[in-house]
């Protein structure tokens, strides 16, 4: 497998994107050589997300509660076990749990982003056009007492 990666996949990638391997771009530190490990890591992340979303969708259809019960009842555990079987890891291997930990971090970050974005929308209340029509105040014009004669009341 390693030979296939080194002789076929990595050269094909570099032929499409040669600027990742030029001497002037050696400072690019996030471009790793494509190896079986990188391929397996990418496969495991994508596969775990797919399995989790599939199981969650099934639970949503059955529960109709927006996934709250499904998440609480543990959809991730069966997804991890399916990933373990597909990846060929032993029952005692911690590797699927590492992928699950990263997946939980990603889902949590997305959930927090949506939650804070939603709460920010409620904080930013739009301006309301309230009529500021002035009401008549009898005491402002000071003519009320002048127009009325109190003498007539007592005569």
> Do residues 45 and 99 lie in contact, with contact meaning Cβ atoms separated by under 8 Å?
yes
Span 85-104, average pLDDT: 90
The pair of structure tokens assigned to 111 is 């959930």
122 against 56, higher pLDDT: 56
**Best-predicted range by mean pLDDT (1-10, 38-47, 53-62, 63-72):** 38-47
What is the tens place of the pLDDT at every residue in 103-145?
888 877 877 777 777 666 656 555 555 555 665 555 555 555 5
How far apart are the C-alpha atoms of 96 and 116, rounded to whole Å?
30
How far apart are the C-alpha atoms of 97 and 111, rounded to whole Å?
20
Q: Is 140 left (phi over 0), alpha (psi -120 to 50) or beta?
A: alpha
Handedness of CA 84, 87, 92, 96 (dihedral sign): negative
pLDDT the model gives residue 91: 92
The pTM of this model reads 0.42
What are the sequence ranges of the domains in the chain? 1-34, 35-111
pLDDT band at residue 151 using 50, 70 and 90 as cut-offs: low
Q: Please report where in the chains the tokens 């971090």 appear, as a residue.
A: 105
């Amino acid at each position: 497998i390693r030979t296939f990666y080194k002789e076929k996949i990595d050269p094909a990638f570099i032929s499409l994107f040669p600027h990742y391997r030029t001497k002037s771009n050696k400072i690019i530190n996030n471009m790793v050589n494509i190896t079986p490990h990188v391929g397996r890591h990418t496969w495991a992340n994508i596969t775990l997300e797919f399995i989790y979303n599939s199981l969650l969708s099934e639970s949503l259809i059955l529960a109709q509660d927006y996934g709250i019960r499904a998440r609480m009842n543990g959809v991730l555990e069966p997804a991890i076990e399916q990933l373990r079987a597909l990846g060929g890891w032993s029952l005692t291997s911690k590797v699927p749990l590492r992928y699950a930990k990263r997946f939980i971090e990603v889902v949590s970050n997305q959930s927090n982003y949506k939650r804070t974005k939603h709460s920010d929308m409620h904080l930013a209340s739009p301006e309301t056009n309230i009529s500021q029509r002035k009401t008549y105040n009898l005491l402002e014009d000071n003519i009320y007492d002048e127009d009325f004669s109190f003498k007539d009341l007592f005569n």
